[in-house]
Amino acid sequence: MIRIQNLHKSFGTQEVLKGVDLEVQQGKVLVIIGPSGSGKTTLLRCLNLLETPTKGVLRISDVQLEFGEGRKPKPSEVLALRKKTGMVFQAYYLFPHMTALQNVMEAQVQVLKKSKEEARRVALELLNKVGLGDRADFYPHQLSGGQQQRVGIARAMAVSPDVLLFDEPTSALDPELVGEVLKVMKELAREGRTMVVVTHEMKFAAEVADRVVLMDEGIIIESGTPDQVLNHPSSDRARSFLNRIA
Ligand code: ADP
């Protein structure tokens, strides 16, 4: 479903991604871990082109784009790739002046050009799925952080993306609200959604990930099953990171 080859990203003179290769099979969950500043978020943002890679090849589903050395995808190609992904952000970027329902309808109407009726039907289905069917008419400020983040997940799913991307979806939440969001993510994984998740939740990684990659200074230094990466890392750098967060 996803193939990344030799992906590089620089901000000015700072090279943040230094050649990342990665594959995610359909229906699998990839968890990305690593120290702060190692490039995890930048990698995720490159996947839906919120950041434009400096160099490399990026393929999601049947859309493949190449970057670097004069290669620049056309806007229509960028849009095609972006439509393959739904992103859940660290802080829930819901539209504050719209209800939960309207937030989940918005992209369906604006991007997919669905009728309002159809968008409303799908939005209600998705809000039920994340356990918020009874909160459809609430505004974001009337919802807890965990509920807002679940609306964020429903919104990301509303465009029927092939891949769901999660950028530290629980790190802005109060500890007691983390569980309800992870529960929804676990259900999505069980249903066979293809997911890429940047997180510090090692228990989630151990339980839900099919593969874990550990990034450090812009490269992947460990890649394997959760047990391999979390319990039997091969490098000193990986061991030292895992010891620090244990
Ligand atoms: P992580 O998610 O692993 O904490 P990030 O991908 O957020 O790492 O950041 C990696 C590096 O890239 C950091 O040094 C950060 O300051 C830098 N960086 C990220 N985004 C930008 C940006 N838009 N402009 C300049 N530097 C950035």
| pLDDT tens track for 26-59 | 999 999 999 999 999 999 999 999 999 999 999 9
What is the distance in A from the centroid of ligand 1 to the CA of 139?
32
pLDDT above 90 as % of the chain: 89
Question: How confident is the model at residue 71, as a pLDDT?
Answer: 78
Position in ligand 1 atom list of the atom nearest CA 215: 3
Burial (CB count <10 Å: 0-12, 13-18, 19+), residue 134: exposed
Whole-number Å distance between alpha carbons of 20 and 56:
9
Residue nearest to atom 24 of ligand 1 (CA): 11
Residue nearest to atom 19 of ligand 1 (CA): 42
Q: Are 57 and 22 in contact (CB under 8 A)?
A: no
Residues with CB under 6 A from ligand 1: 11, 16, 34, 36-42
Parallel, antiparallel, or unpaired: how do β-strands 211-216 and 63-67 relate? unpaired
Residue 96 has pLDDT above 90, yes or no: yes
Question: How confident is the model at residue 111, as a pLDDT?
Answer: 86
Residue nearest to atom 7 of ligand 1 (CA): 41
Q: Are 127 and 100 in contact (CB under 8 A)?
A: yes
| Confidence tier at 202 by pLDDT (50, 70, 90) | very high
Question: How confident is the model at residue 237, as a pLDDT?
Answer: 93
What is the distance in A from the centroid of ligand 1 to the CA of 7?
15
What is the distance in A from the centroid of ligand 1 to the CA of 41?
7
Average pLDDT over residues 178-193: 95
Q: 228-237: per-residue pLDDT in tens?
A: 999 999 999 9
Helix (H) / strand (E) containing 214: strand 211-216
DSSP 96-135: TTS-HHHHHHHHHHHTS---HHHHHHHHHHHHHHTT-GGG
Average pLDDT over residues 8-28: 97
Residue 70 has pLDDT above 80, yes or no: no
Question: How confident is the model at residue 245, as a pLDDT?
Answer: 83
Q: Are 36 and 241 in contact (CB under 8 A)?
A: no
pLDDT above 70 as % of the chain: 100
Q: 217-229: per-residue pLDDT in tens?
A: 999 999 999 999 9
What is the distance in A from the centroid of ligand 1 to the CA of 37?
6
Residue 246 has pLDDT above 80, yes or no: no
Would you give the distance in Å from CA 124 to the centre of its chain? 22
Residue in 8, 9, 41, 199 to alter for ligand 1 test, most ligand atoms within 8 A of Cβ: 41
Average pLDDT over residues 189-214: 96
Which pair of tokens denotes residue 240?
């030292």
The most distant pair of C-alpha atoms in the chain lies apart, rounded to whole Å, by 56
Per-chain mean pLDDT for the chain: 94
Residue 92 has pLDDT above 80, yes or no: no
What is the distance in A from the centroid of ligand 1 to the CA of 128?
35
| Confidence tier at 196 by pLDDT (50, 70, 90) | very high
Residue in 8, 13, 15, 16 to alter for ligand 1 test, most ligand atoms within 8 A of Cβ: 16
Question: How confident is the model at residue 182, as a pLDDT?
Answer: 95
The CB density around residue 43, as the number of other CB atoms within 10 Å, is: 27
Which pair of tokens denotes residue 186?
């676990």
Which 8-state DSSP code applies to residue 71? B
Question: How confident is the model at residue 72, as a pLDDT?
Answer: 81
Whole-number Å distance between alpha carbons of 177 and 199:
15
Residue nearest to atom 5 of ligand 1 (CA): 39
Which 8-state DSSP code applies to residue 174? -
Average pLDDT over residues 137-151: 96
